[in-house]
Amino acid sequence: MAEVMRNAFTEAIRRDMYGVGFEARDALPAIHEDIFEVVGSTGAYEQTTEILGAGNLVEKPETGKITFENAMEGFTVYGKNRTFGKGIEFSMETVEDIDPSKLANIVTDYAKRWGERYTQKKEKFAADFFIYGGYTAGHDTFSAKITGVTPTDANTALCYDGLPFFNLSNNLRPLYPGGTAAYYNSLANTLTSTNLQTAYLRAVSTNNVDSRGEKIAMKPEIILVPSALTFTADVILKSTNVLGTGNNDINPMNNILRKVEWQYLTAVASWFIGVPKKGLKFHNRKGLTYDFWQDRETGGYKASVIARWGAHMYDWRYWVGNNLSTS
């Protein structure tokens, strides 16, 4: 391993890298923070084992006994943290032949670009949960496999129940391990007012059950669309009357959801409704970290950036996907 040398010059540039990098990072919008629940993380992966909620209260007759039930475990959910990085190097000859201030400017310019790339990569990573969420064979986005670290049941490229995030009616999912497969949260529908009503009702009148099958309150708050559908969504949500008819009927979808346009959704015909910060977690393991040093073996200089994060889907009920690719 090459020996690293640090001095006042390398430390000064490293401090400058943090200044411009953080400023560039914070200047870009981070839509994923509106969609995912963002939490901190201290390990290689996150693990949660669902405890099935209590059943309904049962009326106890006077002098009768309380009804007891067994505690039950549900699915175990895994989400691994991934490492992302980039670097640039300058030969000894290059450094000797240019002004030190020029080298500093080049490095800090890279730091600024890396700050932007940090936010952009996070956005793309988070959007992949929706882009590839309907893949019936799964996708690496959903894999929590870390060889020699995570248990065997974390090695699937599907979700915790062995199904895609968004499953169609021909690929039903159970509410708990060993339960009857009866639920789905994906529809093969384009974005229209009628189809939006269908998706909404799927969320609030069919999928609004907990792991014991008991009804729960469920109210989608947003419609998540790619830029290609932003104007279609506006017409549906902002029209006061029913579209495409001469009748004076009110539009029941008027302002029922908040539109979120996400440019990182590359599937231009897919759209989603859901409850923000529910069902999805984004875990930040290590923030934007810069370094700049001299390699004693070569005499050259190196600059790098590194960060760690991950995400996982832990509850499908809060989202309904529409018109997704399955492979």
Model confidence pLDDT, tens digit, residues 258-283: 999 999 999 999 999 999 999 999 99
Long-range pairs for 150-156: beta carbons < 8 A, 24 or more residues apart: 150/44, 150/45, 150/78, 150/80, 151/78, 153/76, 153/78, 154/45, 154/78, 154/80
Asked whether the predicted pLDDT for residue 17 surpasses 80, the reply is yes
* Span 215-255, pLDDT tens digits: 999 999 999 999 999 999 999 999 988 766 666 688 888 99
In percent, the amount of the chain with pLDDT more than 90 equals 75
pLDDT (mean) for 187-210: 97
Q: Which of 67, 130, 70, 89 is nearest to 4 (CA)?
A: 89
pTM (two decimals): 0.90
Mean pLDDT of all residues belonging to the chain: 92
C-beta separation of 233 from 225 below 8 A: yes
pLDDT (mean) for 49-65: 72
Q: What is the pLDDT of residue 301?
A: 92
pLDDT (mean) for 27-43: 96
Asked whether the predicted pLDDT for residue 3 surpasses 80, the reply is no
Q: What is the pLDDT of residue 60?
A: 74
The H or E element that residue 15 is part of is helix 8-27
CA distances from 180 to 50, 57, 100, 169, 183 (A): 18, 23, 68, 14, 9
- The first and second tokens of residue 218, run together, are 């469920």
* Span 122-166, pLDDT tens digits: 999 999 999 999 999 999 999 999 999 998 888 889 999 999 999
Q: What is the pLDDT of residue 1?
A: 55
Q: What is the pLDDT of residue 56?
A: 66
Asked whether the predicted pLDDT for residue 68 surpasses 70, the reply is no
